[in-house]
């Protein structure tokens, strides 16, 4: 079993204790002082001293649940798992609604290799607080490391939605999804080692690794086994496009359209690939139909504009390029650039300059964003390398 980091276990509930719970009749000033001392020691990383302070507090008032809970957290931080479990369970006996007790009890039970008990307590913690990121994360960790990645994905997905920048959550979420995918792949292989679906999965893996030639080969193998699966032709077509082979892409998309006549996605795929491969006349009716079907600006407007311009219908092309400028990303920038060129050919100097300026502004913003992304990635890699180096020295 892979044990998860105990960084969450350093959290203690002293703020809840000092700002709302009665400290009882036994030496309240001394009790408050002990809690403050224990909290300070925990924050300083001195769990043994914190344990001593919280134990004194528990001895002063044996019926005070928060003292037992924080004593358990200090023991958990020290790795005294059985003692921590006993202390936290005692806090729950004294107060079944003890804040955070089921969460930390579940962590302690998991660390002591009692996964069944851990799951019950973590699930109870989520009943009490469904949006508790720590409880969701630990539930995912326990499910993942006990061989149930398909059950881990749900709570980790929810945790990621609630804490999208938590690296710990994202790390375990990736592990859970990868493990679940591997299990499905293995099960599929056992059912049918020659399945076309396996070749499609291999194609997706190759595509993610930027091995587009390998992906095409896998799609071709899948098509031999399942020649009526339109999705295979679509996937292969996009892999050809990534290699700049628009003519081959068009052939693949043509097969997709044959199998799914009237499908606007297939029509768009084929029409856009035909434009890229210089077959604008053939693309025109397809793209016009797609634009009519959707009724709002899409990538089809951009490619239709290119086809119209190639056929000498520049005024109509202007209208479609203008619609395409309402899109986002690269296609929007291309639309502004193409507009500047058409306006120049039509002798509309002011409009050409305005379109060119807009293109330059968007391009500059995109370049700056890309540079920042590269720099952030460089910093992340440098930090990871430094952390790994420090770990190896320990």
pLDDT at 336: 96
pLDDT in tens, 96-126: 988 889 999 999 999 888 999 999 999 999 9
Mean pLDDT of the chain: 87
At residue 17 the predicted structure's pLDDT band, cuts being 50, 70 and 90, is: very low
Rounded Cα distance between 248 and 258, Å, is 16
pLDDT at 374: 73
pLDDT at 268: 97
Within 10 Å of residue 295's Cβ, how many Cβ atoms? Answer: 7
Q: Are 10 and 77 in contact (CB under 8 A)?
A: yes
Question: Where do the H-state alpha helices sit in 192-211?
Answer: 196-208
pLDDT in tens, 232-271: 999 999 999 999 999 999 999 999 999 999 999 999 999 9
Which two structure tokens, joined as six digits, stand for 143? 């499910």
Return the half-sphere exposure (C-beta side, CA atoms, 13 A cut-off) of residue 47: 18
Which of 342, 346, 296 minimizes the C-alpha distance to 323?
A: 296
Q: What domains appear along the chain, each with residue ranges and CATH number?
A: 7-129 (1.25.40.10), 192-278 (1.25.40.10), 279-372 (1.25.40.10)
What lies within 8 Å, CB to CB, of 75 at 6+ separation is 47, 51, 81, 83, 84, 87
pLDDT in tens, 124-144: 999 999 999 999 999 999 999
3-state helix, strand, coil in the chain (%, to 5): 80, 0, 20
- Min mean pLDDT across 2-11, 74-83, 310-319, 340-349 is at 2-11
Rounded Cα distance between 106 and 125, Å, is 9
Rounded Cα distance between 281 and 269, Å, is 15
At residue 10 the predicted structure's pLDDT band, cuts being 50, 70 and 90, is: very low
pLDDT at 209: 84
What lies within 8 Å, CB to CB, of 68 at 6+ separation is 58, 87, 88, 90, 91, 94
pLDDT in tens, 172-221: 999 998 888 878 877 877 887 778 988 998 898 888 888 999 999 999 99
| More reliable by pLDDT, 23 or 64 | 64
At residue 333 the predicted structure's pLDDT band, cuts being 50, 70 and 90, is: very high
What lies within 8 Å, CB to CB, of 389 at 6+ separation is none
Rounded Cα distance between 95 and 88, Å, is 10
The contacts found for 254-261 with CB under 8 angstroms, 24 or more apart, are: 255/230, 256/230, 256/231, 259/228, 259/229, 259/230, 259/233, 260/230
Rounded Cα distance between 74 and 220, Å, is 60
Is residue 157 scored above 90 in pLDDT? yes
Is residue 345 scored above 90 in pLDDT? yes
Rounded Cα distance between 340 and 348, Å, is 9
What DSSP string describes 11-40? ---HHHHHTTS---SS-HHHHHHHHHHHHH
């Amino acid at each position: 079993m892979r044990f998860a980091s105990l960084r969450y276990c350093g959290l203690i509930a002293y703020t809840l204790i000092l700002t709302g719970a009665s400290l009882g009749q036994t030496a309240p000033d001394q009790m408050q002082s002990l809690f403050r001392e224990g909290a300070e020691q925990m924050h300083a990383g001195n769990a043994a001293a914190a344990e001593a302070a919280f134990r004194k507090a528990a001895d002063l008032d044996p019926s005070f649940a928060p003292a037992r809970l924080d004593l358990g957290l200090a023991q958990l931080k020290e790795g005294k798992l059985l003692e921590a479990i006993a202390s936290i369970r005692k806090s729950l006996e004294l107060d079944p609604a003890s804040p955070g007790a089921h969460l930390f009890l579940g962590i302690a039970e998991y660390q002591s290799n009692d996964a069944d008990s851990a799951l019950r307590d973590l699930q109870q913690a989520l009943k009490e607080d469904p949006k508790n990121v720590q409880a969701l994360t630990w539930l995912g960790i326990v499910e993942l490391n006990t061989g149930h990645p398909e059950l881990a994905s749900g709570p980790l997905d929810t945790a990621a939605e609630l804490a999208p920048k938590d690296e710990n959550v994202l790390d375990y979420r990736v592990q859970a999804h990868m493990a679940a995918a591997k299990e499905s792949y293995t099960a599929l292989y056992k059912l049918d080692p020659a399945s076309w679906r396996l070749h499609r999965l291999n194609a997706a893996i190759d595509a993610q690794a930027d091995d587009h030639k390998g992906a095409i080969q896998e799609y071709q193998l899948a098509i031999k086994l399942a020649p009526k699966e339109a999705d295979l032709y679509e996937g292969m077509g996009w892999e050809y496009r990534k290699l700049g082979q628009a003519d081959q892409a068009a052939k693949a998309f043509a097969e997709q359209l044959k199998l799914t006549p009237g499908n606007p996605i297939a029509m768009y795929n084929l029409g856009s690939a035909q434009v890229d491969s210089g077959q604008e006349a053939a693309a025109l009716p397809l793209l016009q139909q797609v634009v009519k079907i959707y009724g709002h600006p899409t990538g089809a407007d951009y490619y239709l504009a290119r086809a119209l311009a190639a056929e000498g219908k520049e005024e109509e092309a202007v209208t479609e390029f203008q619609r395409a400028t309402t899109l986002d990303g690269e296609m929007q920038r291309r639309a502004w650039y193409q507009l500047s060129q058409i306006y120049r050919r039509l002798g509309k100097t002011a409009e050409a300059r305005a379109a060119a300026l807009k293109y330059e502004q968007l391009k500059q913003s995109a370049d700056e964003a890309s540079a920042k992304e590269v720099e952030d990635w460089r910093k992340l890699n440098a930090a990871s390398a430094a952390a790994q180096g420090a770990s190896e020295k320990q």
